[in-house]
Amino acid sequence: MKPELTEVLREASTVVLETMFFADVSTVAVEEPVHDDPLACSLLCSGAENGSFTVAVDRAALGMLSEAFYGDDGESSSTREAELLCELTNMLAGSTLSTYAPNHYCPLSSPKVCDFAQHLATVSSSAPDEHKTSISLALDGGLLSVSCTLKAAA
């Protein structure tokens, strides 16, 4: 029996953010997260679980994550922000899948920066046989939300 996807996503995201970014993380209980100047990224997974992950994070929060991850003085560029957002998306998806489908291979596509509307569409759409979930986490500097839609391979 598979674990509950929302709890796996929340725990995996919290561990990645606390371990890799030294972030203080708390869960935000909202239906539709209200972001402030967000950047978004998406990737696809295939194999034992087919689906997608999207991540949206407020630009100020991404700046703080960048400072913690790279150990720099906070100087950022749009290229560096995009690279970090893609890396973060990859880490969150990989960590979630390694717990949700631990004995299965689920290759990930290269993460791509996308528009925030794509992130919102992932939150609101799914087919009846898909498992869909979304979480929101409060970080220093703002909000991070993660959504995923997964369907077991036939």
CA distance 138 to 119: 17
Q: What pLDDT digit, counting tens, does each position of 90-111 carry?
A: 999 999 999 999 988 899 999 9
List pLDDT tens digits, range 128-145.
Answer: 778 899 999 999 999 999
Q: How far apart are CA 53 and CA 88, in angstroms?
A: 11
Task: Enter the pTM of the model.
Answer: 0.92
SS3 of residue 69 by DSSP? helix
Dist. CA 54–CA 116, nearest whole Å:
9
Furthest CA-CA distance within the chain: 48
pLDDT tens-digit series, residues 57-75: 999 999 999 989 988 765 6
Q: Specify the length of the chain in residues.
A: 154
Kindly state the average pLDDT of the residues 37-64.
95
Which CATH fold topology does 5-152 show? Chemotaxis protein chec (3.40.1550)
Separation between Cα atoms, residue 79 and residue 130, nearest integer Å: 34
Q: Give the C-alpha distances (Å, rounded to integers) separating 2 from 16, 36, 142, 148, 152.
A: 21, 35, 32, 16, 11
- Specify the pLDDT at position 75: 63
Q: Where are the domains of the chain?
A: 5-152
The Cβ of residue 75 has, within 10 Å, a number of other Cβ atoms equal to 10
Which residues have CB under 8 Å from 78's CB, separation 6+?
none
- What CA–CA distance (Å, rounded) separates 143 from 25? 10
